[in-house]
A and B are shown apart, each in its own frame.
Chain A
Amino acid sequence: MLKIWSMKQQQQAASNAEGGQKKKKVTAAQLRAQKDITELSLPSTMRTHFPDPDDILNFTLTIEPDEGMYKGGSFKFTFAINSNFPHEPPKVKCTHKIYHPNIDLEGNVCLNILREDWKPVLNLNAVIVGLQFLFLEPNPSDPLNKEAAEDLRLTRDNFKRNVKNSMQGGFVKSTQFDRVLK
């Protein structure tokens, strides 16, 4: 044990720090979330909102695509970051019922980096870019809403019409969707 302490003393002498009193620190998860959130580079089609500004670990992201089949819509997602971030990915859910092959009727999102491909070196920006991409290029090969995926695979034009209809609060088959026009 003595030897370990002499290592500390040498290190101390080298760095010549003074050392203050001990106080509570911001946790690593929180600091990492802070870094990610303040360094988000959001295009004009996206914005964040913090319902409780004291709690940076829970916020919403609104995406308003300016191109593609979902143009004209306003889609809100909740982000929940837990104390094990970035070891665990943030939990993301869509708060609207929308007609999308990769988002189910409960708002679950199928995005690889939110689950199987998440790595601690990824940041929130990567997740947000991924979400944006889902609206530009809905992907029928990773279906979470099977009917929508089937629809997109069969006739793109029909799918387009259904998306438009659903965004106005209309029905697709027997399901009514939320009106999400901005």
Chain B
Amino acid sequence: MLQSGAGGLGCEILKNLALSGFKDIHVIDMDTIDVSNLNRQFLFRQADVGKPKATVAAEFVMKRVKGVKITPYYGAIQDKGPDYYMQFQLVICGLDSVEARRWINATLVEMVDPQNPESLKPLIDGGTEGFKGQSRVILPTLGSCYECSLDMLTPRTAVPMCTLASIPRQPAHCIEWASILEWPRVMGDKKLDNDDPEHIQWLYEKALERAREFNISGVTYSMTQGVVKNIIPAIASTNAIIAASCCNEALKIVTSSNPYLNNYMMYIGDEGVYTHTFAHEQKDGCPVCGNMATDFHAKADWTLDEFIERLKEKPDVQIKKPTLTTERRKLYYAGPPQLNELTKPNLDKRLKDLLDSGEEVAITDPGLPFSLRLNVIFS
């Protein structure tokens, strides 16, 4: 199986998986160990600071648990393609980034090939934020996916820009001011690198100056790092609870020993211990799983215009002003004027000059809840 993420949640998951008897685990993580991780990421020691999390975690657990083989990969999940993910039976995620989770979710949904049972990889996703967390079982294309529930996520609470600019009240406001307003003002186009200690030091000094000006105390270097990297204080017990739930689900799924979670468990631990389990429903028109590409037969000699007319005749879709693209090019844009002008000439071109048979065309239209994906097959 594959585990993605070897941070706070990841350490717990890896330890649990190994102790539950999983024998062959791959672990991916793109981060290196920072001093601030050591309080809860218990697979790491002082001497490991600066080393890749995946590698150190794998070595530690293999040393402690006999008979488990853990293969680390130090890098981004996006480095790997479907061939890599195909080798696993199940994927379990303890990631802290929404972007990475959206990516892995979309990749696993896309991999499902109706002809091949092996291609459906259950995804167990764990996430924590302070005293809150959730674990969920995602069966790509069979039920609600990560993208389906994206609207449910509360984006991080941002402070109004004008508060930062004129009336900071908290140390974090001074730090955000330094990174959002002062850095681009002074540094121009130079990109702020959250992992560069010199950049953080610069922000820290600016924030400190500003905090003095407004009589605010509490700005520190590590707080600067935390605010810039958008780190929500991690709670070790939340990680432990969510990891336990995720690993339980993994065990149940691979052994078929018990029914698995259907499909979302949320945990709230700030006022007592509360959990709520419910079946999150697949979202109509989910951009990832709600509109799996269906086959559409077309003649290679049709012009794009003819193709669009045929689409409008499809009784099950209500298309009025469609925009069509493929992964590699814009086919036709209904608006805005500039892009419409640019793509209009394609309307007279033949499909065979724009597409390969079997290529996926993505269509958006005001009449569609989200989009329509078609595999256009030449007959």
A-B residue pairs in contact (CB < 8 Å), sample of 23:
A4-B139, A4-B253, A5-B117, A7-B142, A8-B142, A23-B360, A25-B373, A28-B102, A32-B287, A32-B370, A47-B337, A48-B338, A53-B338, A56-B339, A87-B155, A106-B184, A108-B181, A110-B160, A112-B160, A115-B159, A115-B160, A118-B155, A120-B150
B129 on the interface (CB 8 Å rule)?
A: no
A1 contacts B89, C-beta separation under 8 Å: yes
Among the listed stretches A14-22, A129-137, A159-167, which one makes contact with chain B, having 4 or more residues with CB under 8 Å of it?
A: A14-22
- List residues of chain A with CB within 8 A of the CB of B316: none
**A 127-159 contacts with B by CB, 8 A:** 142-144, 146
A143 contacts B165, C-beta separation under 8 Å: yes
Residues of chain B at the chain A interface (Cβ within 8 Å): 82, 89, 98-99, 102, 106, 110-115, 117, 120, 122, 139, 141-142, 147, 150-151, 153, 155, 157-162, 165-166, 180-181, 184-185, 253-254, 256, 287-288, 292-295, 321, 323, 325-328, 330, 333-339, 342, 358-360, 362, 364, 366, 370-371, 373, 375, 377
> Smallest CB-CB separation from A54: which chain B residue?
B330
- List residues of chain B with CB within 8 A of the CB of A28: 102, 106, 147, 287-288
Q: Which of B162, B180, B287, B321 has the most CB of A within 10 A?
A: B162
- List residues of chain A with CB within 8 A of the CB of B106: 25, 27-28
> Smallest CB-CB separation from B291: which chain A residue?
A31
> Smallest CB-CB separation from B341: which chain A residue?
A53
Total CB contacts across the A-B interface at under 8 A: 172
A38 contacts B336, C-beta separation under 8 Å: yes
CA of A4 to CA of B249, assembled, Å: 14
B114 contacts A19, C-beta separation under 8 Å: yes
Residues of chain A at the chain B interface (Cβ within 8 Å): 1-5, 7-8, 11-12, 17-29, 31-32, 34-35, 37-40, 42, 47-50, 53-54, 56, 83-84, 87-88, 102, 104, 106, 108-112, 114-116, 118-121, 142-144, 146
A40 contacts B336, C-beta separation under 8 Å: yes
Q: Which of A25, A29, A120 has the most CB of B within 10 A?
A: A25
